[in-house]
């Protein structure tokens, strides 16, 4: 079955960088677009970014455009989110999601001085 | 596109029917999904294309609507249905979620 395992979260100071990973298994990863979605503590869902199955196209939420970079390695079935210039308001649980609607368990990012 | 869900909280008794609404700020055709999120859990896809149930979703969940007005109906509520529900449009980039409806007993 589909399995998505996020990692790379942690506590980081404002202005610093962090890279999240999402290891995928149980499906043909290179056939699916992939999303990152985040959820601040006690808040709703916020879509972050998408990458096409072949990596050819990417879109971002306005709130992260120019700071975050989504990428993927189809040879290793892994999705990434490079987060730069982090802000306190980026504090959230970060989920990866397949375009088919399967979700990982999330990885928590806390931006705090 | 701004997605607005109502009500923010809905109190219903087990066995009753719940109706949740989602409105888009402009037409999104039928490009809408509904997700369920139980406390402490990841979201789960319920409905896509406004009315198509995802694999394994019980028939008591039904979606309807097009354009700017959408509805998620849950008939005969079970205990496991008490959760948060989110709509999301995928007609335009960037994608956007509604703020959610919390369904409580």
Cβ–Cβ contact B94 with A under 8 A: yes
Band the pLDDT of B74: cuts 50, 70, 90: very high
| Residue B105: per-residue pLDDT | 87
Strands B32-37 and B84-89: antiparallel
- A44 vs B99: CB contact, 8 Å cut-off? yes
SS3 B80: helix
Query: In this predicted model, what pLDDT tens digit does every residue of B31-65 receive, in sequence order?
Result: 999 999 999 999 999 999 999 999 999 999 999 99
Which residue, chain included where needed, has tokens 């609607």?
A101
Please, what are the averages of pLDDT over each run of 10 residues along chain A (113 residues)? 97 98 97 98 97 96 97 98 98 97 97 96
3-state secondary structure chain A: CCEEEEECCEEECCCCCEEEEEEEECCCHHHCCEEEEEECCCCCEEEEEEECCCCCCEEECCCCCCCEEEEEECCCCEEEEEECCCCHHHCEEEEEEECCCCECCCEEEEECC
Q: Which site among A33, A44, A65, A92 would you substitute to test the B interface, given the most B Cβ atoms closer than 10 Å to its Cβ?
A: A44
Q: Which site among B4, B43, B48 would you substitute to test the A interface, given the most A Cβ atoms closer than 10 Å to its Cβ?
A: B43
- A50 vs B95: CB contact, 8 Å cut-off? yes
- B96 vs A45: CB contact, 8 Å cut-off? no
């Amino acid at each position: 079955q589909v399995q998505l395992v996020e990692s790379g979260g942690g506590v980081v100071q404002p202005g610093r960088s962090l890279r999240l990973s999402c290891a995928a298994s149980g499906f043909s990863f290179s056939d699916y677009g992939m999303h990152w979605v985040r959820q601040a503590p006690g808040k709703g869902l916020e879509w972050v970014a998408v990458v096409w199955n072949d990596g050819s196209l990417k879109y971002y939420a306005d709130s992260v455009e120019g700071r975050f970079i989504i990428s993927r390695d189809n040879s290793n079935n892994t999705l990434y989110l490079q987060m730069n210039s982090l802000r306190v308001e980026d504090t959230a649980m970060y989920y990866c999601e397949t375009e088919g609607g399967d979700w990982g368990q999330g990885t928590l990012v806390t931006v705090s001085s | 596109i701004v997605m607005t869900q109502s009500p923010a909280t809905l109190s219903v008794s087990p066995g009753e029917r719940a109706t949740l609404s989602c409105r888009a700020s402009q037409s999104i055709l039928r490009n809408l999904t509904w997700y369920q999120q139980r406390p402490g859990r990841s979201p789960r896809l319920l409905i896509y294309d406004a009315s198509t149930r995802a694999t394994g979703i019980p028939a008591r969940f039904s979606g309807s609507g097009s354009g700017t007005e959408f509805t998620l109906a849950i008939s005969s509520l079970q205990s496991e249905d008490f959760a948060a529900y989110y709509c999301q449009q995928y007609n335009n980039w960037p994608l956007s979620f509604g703020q959610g409806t919390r369904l409580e007993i």
